[in-house]
Structure formats: structure tokens, C-alpha cells
Structure 1
Amino acid sequence: MKNLTGKTIFITGGSRGIGRSLAIRCGRAGANVVIAAKSADPHPILGGSIYTVAEEITAAGGNVLPLQVDVRDEQQIIHALAETADHFSGIDILVNNAGAIHLGNVQDTSLKQYDLIQAINHRATFIAAKHALPYLKKSSQAHILSFAPPINLAAHWLEQYAPYALSKYGMTLLTLGLAEELKNDDIQCNTLWPVTLINTAAVSVKIGEVAARQFSRKPEMMSDAAFAIISGACGKITGQTLLDEDALRLAGISDFSEYACSPEHANQLAKDLFVD
């Protein structure tokens, strides 16, 4: 396994949830962590900000640079990447974690909702990857990891969630395309998605706090899987659409019981979207 000490990781949307968990995990491992997210102040419902997470990373002994960034704004992304490279003398890993969710079919989705999920999901992935490439090409351990699902064209998913599926599958297609485009540049490109629901604030708001605890896993399930991928514990892989369980198994971890929010409900976990 490669060492992340001194490597610089640019995480979009890392102010809460899985992004926060991964940022702290990387900070503890000696990486330079950049939290590029919109929340400069804690969200009134979801909580968390770039500064609260930065404090947690510093407390864990990590190096951190919090940057307020709206991933829909190309110029803000360009500036944040340049500031990161200047501050930490380069960029090694890009994690496309920022995301927006809308659960509805075409008839139940407004144009405003549609535009938002497309902009924050696949469009922001395109912007960040495109402008990170000049920095990543200089790294000896370059990686682009996007939190997006394997493409599942089962009718029941498309019937219910076609707009959201398009936005997330777009991230997957971009990442697979990048893997081929960059194979001669030695830049690994992969996606990661949870098998089960992950107990983030957003999930808790949508399905209720009690249900989230009973039927979900902790964010550490995904952050540990992501860490395994970008640290090299899974081996040198590219062009893969991995589920969190598969990534952890590649890293030699097969017991997932510690990740259940409620151990007594560990056999009743709910599958995440697009996972059959």
C-alpha cells in the first residue's frame, strides 16, 4: 500500500457526511486535505461547514485548507485548484464527493430541480476533473475518485428516478471515459458507491432519524472504502465502478459489522439506490 503522507487531496463538498469522514481519515493519515465546499457556516438542518471540519482535521493532526467553493462555478473551481497547488505544491488526488439528490420521476421534477442535480453532479465532476488534470499529471500517485454508482439500467430505477439517475450515471460515464483517456498518463480513475444506505444528515432528514439509524451504515463504511482505493490498498485499479463492500474486500476487509449504525439491525440494512 502506498503512503498518503504529504499527498494533497482535493475533496469537493467535504463539509459533512461521507466527505467529512474521508477528509478526517486522510488527515489522520498525514495527507494535505482541501475541503472545497459551499458551506462557510453550518447548515441550519444538516450542520457542518468547511471550518468545523478543518478544526476536526487539525485536531487529528492533519494539514488542511478550507476553501469556500460553489462547484457549479467554473472560475471558483479553477481558483481553488490553483490556490491548493500553490499552498501545498501540487495536487495528487481529486475526490468528486459534492452531490445533490432529488427523488422523483420526470413528471414530478421541476426544471429548477433538474438543473440543480445535473449541475452539481455530473457537470461539476467535468469541471473539477478537467481543471485538475494539469496538476494531476505532475503527480506520481494521481487519482480521480467519484462517488457515483455502477450503471444499472433496470426499469424500476429509471421509472422512478430517471432525472437523478442521469445526473449520477453521468458522473460514472465521465469517470470511465477519463480512465481510458488518461491511461497513458498513469492517472487512475474510479467510482465508488455504497451497497446500503449511509447514515448522513441528508439521509436522516429524508427517511427519519430512527429509520436512518436502524437501516443504514456509518459514513466510515464509504470513507474507509474510498481511503483504501486512493491509498493503493486495493491495488492499482482504474476504470472500475466499485461498491464499498467490494473495495473493502480488495483491501482485505470482509467483516462489515462494525459499520452498522444499529448492530441489532445489521441484517435489515436497506439497499441504496441503483443497487439490486
Structure 2
Amino acid sequence: MAHETTGGTLKGRTILMSGGSRGIGLAIALRAAADGANVAIVAKTDAPHPKLPGTVHTAADEIRSAGGRALPIVGDIRSDEDIARAVALTVEAFGGIDIVVNNASAIDLSRSLELQPKKYDLMADVNVRGTFMLSRAAVPHLLVSSDPHILSLSPPLNLDPKWLGAHTGYTLAKYGMTMATLGLAAEFTTIAANTLWPRTTIATAAVQNLLGGDRLMAVSRTPQIYADAAWHVVTRPAGERSGQSLIVEDVLAEAGVTDFSGYAAVPGTPDDRLFPDIFL
């Protein structure tokens, strides 16, 4: 069953998201829930993590509290069986799929000689293969949606040696997400498939634990800026924009947002003090 387009709102529309138990994915889910969307999240976090907040179940509770319908699915997007099950459960619960958000991502910024093979494999499996396989599994349902979208949280393809050489393993994985998305846009022309990436670092557990601790968190923006931009992307009619690598701040500026100060993780931090994200 395809849901009718309701322009400017996600009410009644169904999102299938990878990850989403915390951070940017959860923020996107809650923004959609505020409209009354159906949100299925497939993530591994069945039980609390010792260092990270949130499980797929607590995320579902938050989605319901925000006004949406939630379907928590414990699964690993590295597993073809889990992907097939997630798609089937989502269609069974909500009658179709309108939007796929490829949010799940593994990160390791090690240099090539220091990068452990198992970490390379994890990033390739989650970021590239997971994005491709989850999107692919949803395509038959997206093709019968009245307004289908695929949105991947990955950067534009920037072939500057600065980024190619900084962390080659991670760069390959994130660019692979983008290539998969742009490829699907070219192959399935009725589905709007785009990528979205921020100009500044975003205050998430990944930034806190893996990149720069409290110091970097203080010069980042909140996940809400990513959520608001994602909302603007997936509420535009699918025929208007596809195959593009979009930047969070550009999407918001295009929508008429001129003041980003409210998104600073530490209120009052001037824009020129914020830390630029990688790949731009």
C-alpha cells in the first residue's frame, strides 16, 4: 500500500532506518515522529551499551512519546536475513515503505598501516554493503510509494588528496555509501536518492568517544540541525531532487533558515569557532 503524499509533513508515512537508537538517527526519527510518521528502526542495541546511551527499545519509546508509531527491530544490517526480516516486518506493520534512511555507520580514522583488518571489514560491511543491501531490499516497496526517498548520511565525493589520504579505510567506506546512493538514484529514476552531510561536527557519542572528547563536543552543533535538514529533504516531492550530495546547512538555507546559532551544542558559540567536519 502506497501512502499519499502529504507535502510538508511526514504524517502517516513510513520510514525504515538503519541504526537510530541514539544520536543523529534518533534525532531524525523524533523529528519525523513529531509529524505522526511511522518509524521502523533496525539496530543491534537490544541491551544497554556500557558506554553509549539508548537501545532500539528506548528509541521506540521516545518515538511514540513524540507522536509517531514505532517498530523496534533488533537486527544487524550486515545480515541479509536480518535485512529481509526488517523489510517484511515494516511492511507488515505499516503497509509499505516510503523512506529509507541509511544512518548506521562504523568509524575508525586509523591510518592505513594501523587500521586493523577487522575494522576495515566492519566499515565496509556496515557502511557500504549495509547501505546498498537495505536500500535494495526496500526498492520494490519504494517503487509503489507515491513519494519514495532514500537518504544516506554520507559525504559528497571529494577527491582532494587531503581527504583521500587522511584515513583511507574510512574514506572508502563513507564514499561507498555515497556511490551506492547515487547509483540507485541513476538506476531507479522515480526514487529520490540523495546523501546529506554537515559542515561542522555534530555532538554525538561518536564525537565524544572516538574523535575529540569534550573539547570537540563544545565546538560542534546538535543532532537537531541534521534532523531538521533531513526533514526538509524527505518532505520535498521525490521528483524534484535526486542523485545529489546535499549539505545540511545549504538545505536549511534553501528552506529559509538563516540563523544557525540555536544549533550550537554550547549556546553562544560563534559559527566561526565551530569545528569543520571531515570531507568538505
**Which TM class, normalised by the smaller chain length?**
over 0.9
Secondary structure at the counterpart of residue 76 of structure 2: coil
Establish whether residue 253 from structure 1 lines up as the match of residue 252 from structure 2: no
Aligned amino acid, residue 104 of structure 2: A
1:265 deviates by 2.5
Match in the other structure for 1:170: 176
Establish whether residue 9 from structure 1 lines up as the match of residue 15 from structure 2: yes
Aligned amino acid, residue 83 of structure 1: L
The one of 186, 189, 208 aligned to 1:204: 208
1:213 deviates by 3.3
Match in the other structure for 1:64: 70
The one of 26, 37, 45 aligned to 2:32: 26
Aligned amino acid, residue 11 of structure 1: M
Separation in 2 of the partners of 1:235 and 1:227? 16
Establish whether residue 232 from structure 1 lines up as the match of residue 236 from structure 2: yes
CA contact (8 A) 1:22 1:227 kept: yes
1:96-138 CA-to-partner distances (Å, cap 9, x unmatched) read 0000001022111111110000001011011101110011111
Question: How many residues matched?
Answer: 273
Q: Give 5+ residue unaligned stretches, structure 2.
A: 1-6
1:234 deviates by 10
CA contact (8 A) 1:46 1:202 kept: no
1:235 deviates by 8.3
CA contact (8 A) 1:233 1:250 kept: no
Establish whether residue 92 from structure 1 lines up as the match of residue 98 from structure 2: yes
Aligned amino acid, residue 246 of structure 1: D
CA contact (8 A) 1:191 1:241 kept: yes
Deviating more after overlay: 28-37 vs 205-214: 205-214
| Counterparts in 2 of 1:226 and 1:235: CA distance versus 1, 3 Å | farther
CA contact (8 A) 2:147 2:237 kept: no
1:209 deviates by 4.2
Establish whether residue 50 from structure 1 lines up as the match of residue 46 from structure 2: no
TM-score by length of 2: 0.94
Match in the other structure for 1:129: 135
Q: Give 5+ residue unaligned stretches, structure 1.
A: none
Separation in 2 of the partners of 1:70 and 1:19? 16
Provide the identity percentage: 46
Aligned amino acid, residue 271 of structure 1: P
Separation in 1 of the partners of 2:255 and 2:237? 5
Separation in 2 of the partners of 1:111 and 1:209? 25
Alignment of 1:119-198 (within 5 A): 119-183=125-189, 186-198=190-202
CA contact (8 A) 2:192 2:238 kept: no
Separation in 1 of the partners of 2:184 and 2:131? 11
Secondary structure at the counterpart of residue 228 of structure 2: helix
TM-score by length of 1: 0.95
CA contact (8 A) 2:216 2:275 kept: no
Aligned amino acid, residue 155 of structure 2: P
The one of 79, 103, 107 aligned to 1:101: 107
Match in the other structure for 1:273: 278
Secondary structure at the counterpart of residue 147 of structure 2: coil
CA contact (8 A) 2:191 2:238 kept: no
CA contact (8 A) 2:46 2:57 kept: yes
CA contact (8 A) 1:197 1:217 kept: yes
Aligned amino acid, residue 193 of structure 1: W
Aligned amino acid, residue 103 of structure 2: N
Separation in 2 of the partners of 1:124 and 1:32? 22
Alignment of 1:73-92 (within 5 A): 73-92=79-98
Secondary structure at the counterpart of residue 115 of structure 2: coil
Separation in 2 of the partners of 1:260 and 1:50? 27
